[in-house]
């Protein structure tokens, strides 16, 4: 039987301050518009279901902080290593499981600070020929500006520059905002944009996520 639709699994939970349910609904809607079959799970145990994971074209983690046990992590990393794509945003992907470096190795980065909290800042497109950001220009944000520890092997698509107004020693620091990479055979996409659901009202934020998810799912 020929498979006609891509299959996406959204795993939703963790700290509620990032509005995981509301943000996941936005991502699910974007994927359904692209003819994906979408399943939403509220448990990390889904990662232990090897048959379910093998059937996924795309995993979208929406789970800030929390803990992941060995079998859950093994199932997730194995799926991506074998070719399942993974795509996420903000703390739902890169501020999950703070004590798990193997998870961070897969993601390509980890949040460490957002100086000033909710502030005005600019996002700059740095790979204008890449299809994930092609045709987009620099744009303004009023949200958390993520300061991150990132993997130098990432292909960076967009950056932001810190002013130093809230931490003088980082004045002029250029920080990746969106990137893509590989983990084994799997494609990995991340955007630090999307603190809460209303951030996706910014057209560029929504479009970068849409394209990033599609890229990760091949």
Q: Note whether residue 46 is domain-resident.
A: yes
DSSP 168: G
**Residue 65 in domain:** yes
Question: Is 136 inside any structural domain?
Answer: yes
Query: How does 12-29 read in b/e, with b if 16+ C-beta sit within 10 Å?
Result: bbbeeebbbeebbbbbbe
Residue 191 located in a structural domain:
yes
Locate 200 and state its tokens. Answer: 């996706």
Residue 199's Cβ-count burial label (10 Å; 0-12, 13-18, 19+) is buried
In a domain, 41, yes or no: yes
Residue 2 lies inside a defined structural domain of this protein: no
Which residue range forms the structural domain that includes residue 66?
7-216
Residue 1 within any structural domain of the chain: no
pLDDT given at position 15: 98
pLDDT of residue 1: 43
Whole-model pTM: value is 0.97
pLDDT tens-digit profile of 146-177? 999 999 999 999 999 999 999 999 999 999 99
Which residue from 86, 90, 116, 99 is spatially nearest to 17, judged by alpha carbons? Answer: 90
How do 139-144 and 186-191 pair as beta strands?
A: unpaired
Looking at the structure of the chain, the number of domains it has is 1
Contact of 88 with 106, CB cutoff 8 Å: no
Q: What residues in the chain have per-residue pLDDT under 50?
A: 1-2
CA dihedral (104, 89, 92, 144) in degrees, to 10, reads: 100
In Å, how far are 63, 96, 110 from 92, measured between CA atoms? Answer: 4, 6, 11
Domain containing residue 185: CATH number: 3.40.50.880
Does 37 fall in a domain? yes
């Amino acid at each position: 039987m020929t498979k006609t639709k891509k299959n996406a699994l959204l795993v939703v939970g963790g700290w509620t301050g990032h509005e995981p349910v509301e943000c996941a609904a936005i991502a699910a809607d974007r994927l359904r518009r692209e003819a994906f079959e979408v399943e939403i799970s509220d448990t990390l145990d889904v990662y232990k279901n090897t048959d379910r994971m093998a059937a996924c074209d795309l995993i979208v983690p929406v789970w800030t902080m929390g803990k992941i046990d060995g079998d859950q992590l093994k199932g997730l990393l194995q799926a991506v290593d074998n070719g399942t794509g993974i795509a996420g945003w903000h703390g739902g992907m890169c501020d999950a499981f703070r004590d798990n470096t193997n998870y961070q190795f897969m993601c390509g980065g980890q949040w460490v600070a957002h100086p000033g909290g909710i502030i005005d800042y600019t996002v700059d497109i740095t790979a204008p020929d890449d299809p994930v950001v092609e045709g987009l220009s620099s744009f303004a944000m009023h949200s958390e500006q993520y300061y991150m520890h990132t993997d130098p092997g990432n292909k960076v698509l967009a950056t932001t520059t810190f002013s130093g107004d809230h931490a003088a020693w980082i004045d002029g620091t250029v920080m990746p905002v969106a990137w893509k990479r590989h983990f084994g055979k799997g494609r990995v996409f991340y955007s630090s944009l999307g603190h809460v659901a209303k951030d996706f009202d910014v057209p560029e934020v929504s479009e970068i996520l849409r394209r990033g998810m599609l890229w990760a799912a091949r």
